[in-house]
Amino acid sequence: MQAATSPEQDLADVSRVLAGEVEAFAGIVRRWQRPLVNMAWRYCRDRGRAEEMAQEAFLRAWRGLAGWRRESSFSTWLFALAANVFRSELQRVPVVNVSLDDVAEPAGPAVQHEELAKRQSDGQVRRAVLALPHRYREPMVLFYFHEMDVAAAARTMGLPEGTMKARLARGRELLKKRFPHLGEFSTAALGSAPGPEKEVLQ
Amino acid sequence: MKDDLNSKTGRDSIDAILADEGELIPSSGFLAATMERVRKEAAAPRPIPFPWLRALPGIVLVAGVLGWCGYEMVRVGFTEGAETSLAQMHLTANWSALGPVGWVAAALVFSLASWAFARRMAGGSGLL
């Protein structure tokens, strides 16, 4: 998810905030509220909680602004910080979710209203991501949040890209097992039955 | 990297469902509420850092006393044998030679030191 922002604007606002101008932080919140709320939403699928978590992330960003060393881009720093906040918030109060086995498979073609059926089916697949084991859940969330950019997702999690790819492959495989009707998921390309950390995507 | 992943797997149904999700728009009060919290945070006094420099003499003193006690207990334990109880060690340390007046004086000195240490930590002009 790309923010309508430029690194120069972020840099300028950060400098103003560090110089003591509190109101300059509003520019940062204005530009990054959509990405952060959407990121939080993908972690918890609860709008109210997503906004609370995003707000907490902004507050932590405010406190830690002086710690941004400018070696990485502001967005990389902010997303990594937000991921940490969301992770610890969800550890503190976990999302009420069901096990992957309990997520119902979508109804078949007998459903008359195709659009509604598709929406329900898609919703079940998205909720199923939250039912994945923890180590595969967050890579899946961040990979799709970053518009399928493995490198960006890996930077946000602070993981090597190889590890991220392996976890993604495993997460997608688990989803595919749960929802076998979902298209042409190429298990041949992913390798057969990969281990949790095995590098299966080149 | 995106291309690497997709060149092998193709964009499948899972990708389509998870990537093409609609975007959530933050509520209209989100910015104001966030800035309100930031302003409160900015207005709050900064947390007082722990005064390590002031605490250092006290920490050294306590560590010294504890170390000395430990040393004495081990020394007495060796001389009296393994079966010596803590109470016996206490007595055999010859502290009883201090007498009641000595114990009261020691307690007073310890109390004074604690008071001075507390004053020092609080930034007052204690005796230390």
The confidence score (pLDDT) of residue A193 equals 34
Is residue B66 less than 8 Å (CB to CB) from chain A?
A: no
The confidence score (pLDDT) of residue B105 equals 83
Give Dmax over CA atoms of chain A in angstroms.
63
The confidence score (pLDDT) of residue A147 equals 87
Winning range, highest mean pLDDT, from A139-143, B72-76, B79-83, B93-97: A139-143
A88-119 per-position pLDDT tens digit: 999 888 876 656 565 555 555 555 577 787 78
Q: Closest to B1 (Cβ–Cβ): which among A29, A151, A182?
A: A151
Instruction: Estimate to the nearest angstrom the gap between the alpha carbon of B104 and the chain centroid.
Output: 32
Which residue bears the tokens 């240490």? B117
Q: What is the pTM of this model?
A: 0.65
B50-83 per-position pLDDT tens digit: 888 888 888 998 899 899 888 888 887 777 665 5
Which residue bears the tokens 């300028």? A12
- Please check whether residue A61 is in contact with residue A81, taking contact to mean a CB–CB distance below 8 angstroms: yes
Contacts of A183-189 with C-beta under 8 Å, sequence gap 24+, read A183/B12, A183/B13, A183/B14, A183/B16, A184/B10, A184/B12, A184/B13, A185/B9, A185/B12, A185/B13, A185/B14, A186/B8, A186/B9, A186/B10, A186/B12, A189/B8, A189/B9, A189/B10
For residues A56 and A111, which has the higher predicted lDDT (pLDDT)?
Answer: A56
CA distance A70 to chain B (A): 22
Contact residues, chain B, for A55 at CB < 8 Å: 30, 33-34, 37
Contact residues, chain B, for A168 at CB < 8 Å: 5
Task: Tell which residue, B47, B46, B53, has the closest CA to residue B120.
Answer: B53
Weakest mean pLDDT among A89-103, A162-176, B17-31: A89-103
Contact residues, chain B, for A179 at CB < 8 Å: 14
Which residue bears the tokens 């690497």? B4
Q: What is the interface pTM, i.e. ipTM, of the complex?
A: 0.75
Do the chains contact at A150 and B4, CB–CB below 8 Å? yes
The confidence score (pLDDT) of residue A195 equals 39
The confidence score (pLDDT) of residue B9 equals 46
Q: Quick one: what percent of chain A has pLDDT higher than 70?
A: 79
Weakest mean pLDDT among A20-34, A67-81, B75-89: B75-89
Give the residue on B whose Cα is nearest the Cα of A141: B18
Domain A7-92 indexed as CATH 3.40.50.300: no
For residues A34 and B92, which has the higher predicted lDDT (pLDDT)?
Answer: A34
Ranges of each domain in chain A: 7-92, 100-190
Average pLDDT, chain B: 77
Which CATH number is A100-190 given?
A: 1.10.10.10
Task: Tell which residue, A80, A51, A50, A53, has the closest CA to residue A64.
Answer: A80
Q: Closest to B31 (Cβ–Cβ): which among A29, A122, A185?
A: A29
Task: Tell which residue, A177, A171, A178, has the closest CA to residue A197.
Answer: A171
For residues B95 and A176, which has the higher predicted lDDT (pLDDT)?
Answer: A176
